[in-house]
Amino acid sequence: MVRPLGLPFDPIERAGETWEKHFGPASSMRAATSIFRVQQILLARFDDALRPHALTFARYEVLVLLTFSRTGNLPLKVIGSRLMVHPTSVTNAIDRLVAAGYVVRRPNPDDGRGVLACITDGGRQVVTTATAALTDLDFGLADVPEDERAALFDILKRVRLGAGDVAGAAGPAD
């Protein structure tokens, strides 16, 4: 659950005012700090919604990725690349999903040393119910009107493209 701060002021706004007195313009600091705080809020909301399904958001993402694959299985290294996480994080998530019966490991026939993660029927069922829980809370963004969500996505996409998330995509203007 998100722990409400309950402060009589906005701490990020206050930090911005102080920042401006000491260092100059604070718009970038305010925006970045707000993004970090919103990430905390969203992850807490996701955890609350997914806890009844014995999932974390990271494990849920793996299951969704496997659900979206044509065959229901993917090499672990592909999962890490698509989810933009370290191989150790993928291994940990797969270990937990295997223990829950949502995924099985199989040898990769195309790579003698590689391993495939394969979603089970139980994994498909939990994706369906967990997805309903997340969509019921608008993925934690119910406070943002629907018509503003696309603009928010477009703004954040510019940061991701500038960081090179998509090969050949235009980065920030020079």
**DSSP output for 153-174:** HHHHHHHHHHTTSSTT---S--
Assigned token pair, 171: 């980065």
Query: For residue range 43-69, what is the model confidence (pLDDT) as tens digits?
Result: 999 999 999 999 999 999 999 999 999
For the chain, strand residue ranges (E) read: 73-75, 103-107, 115-119
Query: For residue range 2-53, what is the model confidence (pLDDT) as tens digits?
Result: 778 889 999 999 999 999 999 999 999 999 999 999 999 999 999 999 999 9
pLDDT over threshold 80, residue 111: yes
| CA–CA distance, 80 with 92 (Å, rounded to integer) | 11
Q: Which of 5-9, 79-83, 96-100 has the highest mean pLDDT?
A: 96-100
pLDDT over threshold 90, residue 165: no
Residue 164: partners with Cβ closer than 8 Å, 6 or more residues away: 171
| CA–CA distance, 114 with 30 (Å, rounded to integer) | 44
What is the model's pTM? 0.83
Rounded to the nearest integer, the mean pLDDT of the chain is 92
DSSP SS3 for 114: coil
In the chain the domains, ranked by start, together with CATH numbers, are 11-145 (1.10.10.10)
Q: pLDDT band for 89, please (50, 70, 90 cuts).
A: very high
